[in-house]
Amino acid sequence: MSAAEITDKVYDIIVSKMGVNKDQIKPESKFADDLGADSLDTVELIMELENEFGVQIPDEDAEKIGTVQQAVDYIVNKK
């Protein structure tokens, strides 16, 4: 899967889980501050990323994923 495809898929997951429009999402968007995610939303988002991309994201890694770009980079590196 290319980085562009991964980015696209990450955006789709954010749209479905966060109830935001795709054009509101930017690479630097912070899940908590910019996309309105609370602590439970964040846990669910990480689970959805694991699910969708077939990767395991340990809690200590999950804590470092604060922005959309960080999520995309993490998946790209794992793939």
Partner 1 sequence: MGLELKRVVVTGIGVLSPVGLSITDFWNALMEGKSGAAPISYFDTTGFATTFACELKNFKADEYIDRKSADRMDPYCQYGVISAEHALKDSGLDLTSIDPTRIGVVHGSGIGGMTVYDQQFRQYLERGPRRVSPFFIPMLIPDIAAGQISIRNGLMGPNYATASACATSLHAVMDAVMLLQMGMADYMVCGGSEAPITPMSVAGFNSAKALSTRNDAPAKASRPYDVDRDGFVMGEGAGSLVIETYESAVRRGAKIYAEIVGMGASADAYHLTAPHPEGLGARSAMSTALNMAGITPDKIDYINTHGTATPLGDLAEIRAIKKVFGDHAHKLSISSTKSMTGHLLGAAGVVESIACILALQNQTVPPTINLDNIDPEIDVDVTPNKPKARSIEYALNNGFGFGGHNGCLIFRKAPAV
Our answer to whether residue 38 is catalytic in this structure is: yes
Q: Does 34 help bind partner 1 (rule: CB under 8 A)?
A: no
Which of 5, 40, 58, 77 binds partner 1 (CB under 8 A)? It is 40
Active-site position among 33, 38, 41, 61? 38
Q: Does 19 help bind partner 1 (rule: CB under 8 A)?
A: yes
Interatomic CA distance for residues 30 and 62, integer angstroms: 14
Contacts of 74 (CB under 8 A, 6+ apart): 57, 61, 65
Q: Does 51 help bind partner 1 (rule: CB under 8 A)?
A: yes
